[in-house]
Homo-oligomer: A and B are copies of this chain.
């Protein structure tokens, strides 16, 4: 029983069964990670290329650990120190690398659609580690794993996604995945940071963080990208914190427990108060731990998928 696709480009269109299959495997791998030697020979002899055109700490390290714990050989490529500077096309870069017999490529790129494009160029299995404002599927999978772990199921759960929804690949992947799994999703943030057509995605929309908190079982707080300030879309940091910051005061008004999620890195004191990030209802570090297990599951499930239609 494998996944329906031989790549993981996003969660749009991925079936409930496939998501369950990934999460079930991730649970098994999480058990393995608790062993004294948290390593399995599953991908021995396979080579995985980590192709990161955007800076990354946690996602890159998380994938690299997942690969090493599966005993894969890993090769890292980052924009700096490479011949990208020499003006080579993306297609030539990837085809050249594939000609060296790479089995899987984990790719992050500032342009949406790059992972899809790569599937047209090479035979290797492609895993999207974040492409522009499009999708970041393994982030949403680890978010869902964390929630399923806590609540036992995803169906019926009310998840509010808060922040700069318009520019967030994390939001998009979570929306697709959570709706597929039967959860209810609300998005909340300043009007200027809401994407066109968001109401057609099957989610609730709110512009009040208090209303979102009242509604939600879980709040997934997006990182505010400080570099977007001063472009007219964005309030000041102080204003953002006042209007949309998740604060102790706001949460104490609610007569219930709300699970706190954040994909990191956190701007403490901007979108999320520091004591809430570290509170007992926060599952932020569990998300990170589950990230390695989810990525092991994805790598494992896609590695077994031999052959393919595309030719190089």
Contacts and interface: CB of A to CB of B under 8 A. Distances in A.
Contact of A38 (B45, B96, B286): B45
A271 to B, nearest CB: 12
A37 to B, nearest CB: 3
A80 B101 CA distance: 28
Interface stretch (A5-13, A241-249, A287-295): A287-295
**Copies of this chain, tallied across the complex:** 3
A265 interface: yes
A240 B69 CA distance: 50
Q: Which secondary structure characterizes the binding site on chain A?
A: mixed
B61 A77 contact: yes
Contacts of A233: none
A131 B274 CA distance: 26
B285 A95 contact: yes
A77 B45 CA distance: 24
A56 B39 contact: no
Interface string A265-308: 11110000000000000000110110110000000000000000
A264 B96 contact: yes
A268 B101 contact: no
